[in-house]
């Protein structure tokens, strides 16, 4: 049995006095003492330094299970229950968000929500990110997968991991095909007529030719320099799995189907002359060339996909699936989505938009160094900003603007006593801005009244009705 949550919501597990008190609902669970004790093995799990997979707080007569800003599936300690966390924009309409965000400091924000009429299209966000080379190169550490844990049964429609991996793989493969498949040496065994090439395989030659009285043939092994080598064969095999999955789950992929199919049609012709006969063990001896970083990433994601289906292509059409515990960092995904849209809408000034500008252990999300639009930008995946603000976030972005290295990057003089504009970008699925050109950002930004030169702007996210 699983517990279903959306990001940043809580679930209560309480101790029942009698058997009549035992019950289960969307908000919580009441269990007898024997079951209640089993939750003592559950602890909070971190995703990174900034966020948790989930938080678990123990009290005397109840436990509070709280989702953070990640989506995914995991086991709850040694219990038989799993936790499934979906995007918060999946299960709340805008009206319920606004009513839930009345808390001034945001501590209890987003706790009560109603059923949604739309769903966040996180796959479309990933497609947008990977279609921009600058943001595509920043996709490290976006997903964590625990292959060593026992797999969790879920419905196919709840599978967030497989579509995510497939989109990621196809976008990397598209980059590889665009540049041209890498050629390499691979061994070929062939029974040659009236000639010898490479080395003679004596055992095979005796079986195939001497014993059959084929005296003019020689069984040889030789090397060929072409595209039909180990790495490309592996990619072809993974592509076959991807095609099978896409064909079996067109309804699940919904509005992303056309983009995914177009990428498949773009990639498949390049692999016409490549075989898909490959053993994963052959990949262990591959030495990655630093000039082919895309190959390294594609092989890594491809191996995840094959392990996901246990190397059995018939499993790609299953309706009930088993998934390893996994988590996707939604704040990171949102940051990179904002960055990719800014790069897309400011093609002339790409070099003046700096992502994850680091200094003295601080890494601010985006720094704009264009002389006319200088600003420090922090992308916050928080719905609180639709109706208010969080003081801690304001202090953080204001602190970034005071760093000497930031001022040096903006070429401000040492004695120039000027405040740098600070901007909070947050998700607004209905009324958010689509155009993230620097000019439009400057015109559309809204001041946060309690602070000087601190602004906010909502960004429209893709969604599925």
Residue 298: phi, psi to the nearest 5? -65, -40
d(CA 118, CA 216): 71
Cβ(177)–Cβ(266) below 8 Å: yes
Residue 92 has pLDDT above 60, yes or no: no
Q: Residue 98: its pLDDT value, please?
A: 42
Average pLDDT of the segment spanning 270-285: 81
Q: What percent of the chain has pLDDT over 90?
A: 37
User: 268, 239 in Cβ contact below 8 A?
Assistant: yes
pLDDT of residue 117: 55
Sheet holding 454-459, edge to edge: 353-359, 362-368, 375-379, 421-427, 454-459, 446-447
Model pLDDT, residue 109: 40
| 96: β partners | none
When pLDDT is averaged across residues 112-128 and rounded to a whole number, the result is: 70
Q: How many CA atoms lie within 13 A of 354 on its CB side?
A: 17
Q: Cα 373 to chain center, whole Å?
A: 30
pLDDT (0 to 100) of residue 25: 77
Of the candidates 72, 80, 86, the residue with the CA atom closest to the CA atom of residue 42: 80
Position 142 scores a pLDDT of 87
Q: Output the CA torsion 109→110→111→115 (10° steps).
A: 160
Query: Is residue 295 within 8 Å of 176, Cβ to Cβ?
Result: yes
Rounded to whole angstroms, the Cα distance separating 299 from 182 reads 13
Return the percentage of the chain with pLDDT > 70, whole number. Answer: 91
Cβ neighbours, 10 Å, residue 380: 23
The yes-or-no verdict on residue 316 having pLDDT over 80 is no
The DSSP secondary-structure symbol of 386 reads G
- What pLDDT, on a 0 to 100 scale, did the predictor assign at position 139? 79
Q: Domain spans of the chain?
A: 2-86, 152-183+228-323, 184-226, 330-464
pLDDT 10s digits, 431-459: 899 999 999 999 999 999 889 989 999 99
Query: Each residue of 332-355: pLDDT tens digit?
Result: 999 999 999 999 999 899 999 999
DSSP state for residue 182 in the 8-state scheme: P
142 and 167 Cβ atoms separated by less than 8 Å? no
Those residues with Cβ within 8 angstroms of residue 251's Cβ, 6 or more apart along the chain or in another chain: none
Q: What integer pLDDT is reported at residue 190 of this predicted model?
A: 92
Look at residue 90 in the predicted model and tell me its pLDDT.
54
Q: Per-residue pLDDT averaged across 28-49, rounded? A: 86
* Cβ atoms 376, 397 nearer than 8 A: yes
Here the tokens at position 143 are: 């997903």
With 60 as the cut, is the pLDDT of residue 319 above it?
Answer: yes
Neighbours of 439 (CB within 10 A): 12
User: If you average pLDDT over residues 116-132, what whole number do you get?
Assistant: 80
The whole-angstrom separation of Cα 258 and Cα 27 is 37
pLDDT value of position 104: 41
Whether 367 shows a pLDDT value over 80: the answer reads yes
**Euclidean distance between CA atoms 91 and 131, whole angstroms:** 28
Q: What is the band of 99 on the pLDDT scale with cuts at 50, 70, 90?
A: very low
Please give the structure tokens belonging to residue 292.
């082919």
Distance CA 318, CA 409 (A): 53
Angle at the Cα of 413 (from 408 to 416), degrees rounded to 5?
120
pLDDT of residue 320: 76
Q: Which two tokens stand for residue 279?
A: 């053993």
Model confidence at 359, pLDDT cuts 50, 70, 90, reads confident
Per the prediction, the chain carries an average pLDDT of 85
For 330-464, CATH number? 3.40.1350
CB 389 within 8 A of CB 423: no
- Cβ atoms < 10 Å from Cβ of 404: 11
pLDDT in tens, 370-384: 999 999 999 998 888
What distance in Å separates the CA atoms of residue 304 and residue 288, rounded to the nearest whole number?
18
| pLDDT at residue 6, as a whole number | 79
Mean pLDDT across 45-72: 87
Predicted model pTM: 0.80
pLDDT at residue 115 is higher than 60: no
Residue spans of alpha helices (H) in 72-154:
94-100, 122-130, 133-136
Predicted local confidence at residue 244, as pLDDT? 92
Tell me, what's the pLDDT at 94? 39
At 89, the pLDDT band (50, 70, 90 cuts) reads low
| pLDDT value at residue 209 | 92
What does the pLDDT read at residue 373?
Answer: 93
Phi, psi of 4 (to 5 degrees): -105, 125
**Average pLDDT score over residue span 204-217:** 92
Inform me whether the pLDDT recorded for 271 exceeds 90.
Answer: yes
Lowest mean pLDDT among 180-184, 199-203, 358-362, 397-401: 358-362
Compute the residue count for the chain.
Answer: 465
Tokens of 196: 């010898």
The pLDDT score that the predictor gives to residue 159 is 86
């Amino acid at each position: 049995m699983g517990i279903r949550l959306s990001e940043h919501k809580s679930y209560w597990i309480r101790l029942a006095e009698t058997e009549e008190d035992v019950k289960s609902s969307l908000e919580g669970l009441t269990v007898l003492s024997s079951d209640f004790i089993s939750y003592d093995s559950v602890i909070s799990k971190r995703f990174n330094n900034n966020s948790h997979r989930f938080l678990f707080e123990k009290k005397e007569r109840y436990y509070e299970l709280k989702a953070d800003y990640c989506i995914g599936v995991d086991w709850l300690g040694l219990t038989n229950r799993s936790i499934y966390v979906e995007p918060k924009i999946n299960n709340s309409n805008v009206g319920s968000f606004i009513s839930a965000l009345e808390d001034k400091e945001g501590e209890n924000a987003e706790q009560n929500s109603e059923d949604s009429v739309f769903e966040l299209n996180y796959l479309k966000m990933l497609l947008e990110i990977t279609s921009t080379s600058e943001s595509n190169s920043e996709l490290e550490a976006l997903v964590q997968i625990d292959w060593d844990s026992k797999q969790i049964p879920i419905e196919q429609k709840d599978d967030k991991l497989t579509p995510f991996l497939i989109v990621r793989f196809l976008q990397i493969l598209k980059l590889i095909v665009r540049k041209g498949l890498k050629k390499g040496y691979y061994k070929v065994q062939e029974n040659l007529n009236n000639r010898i090439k490479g080395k003679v395989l004596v055992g095979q030659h005796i079986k195939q030719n001497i014993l059959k009285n084929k005296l003019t043939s020689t069984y040889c092994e030789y090397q060929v320099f072409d595209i039909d080598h180990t790495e490309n064969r592996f990619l072809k095999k993974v592509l076959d799995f991807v095609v099978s999955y896409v064909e079996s789950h067109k309804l699940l992929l919904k509005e992303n189907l056309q983009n995914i199919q177009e990428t498949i049609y773009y990639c498949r012709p390049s692999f016409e002359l490549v075989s898909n006969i490959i053993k994963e063990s052959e990949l262990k001896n591959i030495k990655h060339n630093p000039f082919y970083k895309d190959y390294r990433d594609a092989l890594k994601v491809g191996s995840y996909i094959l392990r996901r289906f246990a190397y059995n292509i018939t499993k790609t059409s299953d309706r009930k699936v088993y998934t390893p515990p996994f988590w996707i960092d939604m704040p990171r995904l949102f940051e990179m989505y904002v960055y990719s849209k800014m790069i897309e809408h400011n093609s002339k000034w790409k070099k003046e938009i700096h992502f994850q500008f680091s200094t003295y252990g601080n890494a601010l999300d985006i720094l704009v160094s264009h002389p006319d639009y200088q600003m420090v930008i922090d992308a916050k995946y928080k719905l609180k900003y639709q109706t208010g603000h969080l003081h801690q976030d304001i202090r953080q972005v204001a602190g970034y603007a005071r760093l000497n290295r930031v001022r040096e990057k903006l070429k401000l003089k040492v004695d120039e006593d000027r405040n740098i504009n600070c901007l909070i970008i947050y998700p607004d699925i209905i009324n958010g801005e689509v155009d993230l050109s620097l000019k439009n950002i400057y015109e559309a930004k809204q001041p946060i009244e309690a602070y000087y030169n601190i602004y906010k702007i909502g960004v429209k996210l893709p969604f599925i009705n």
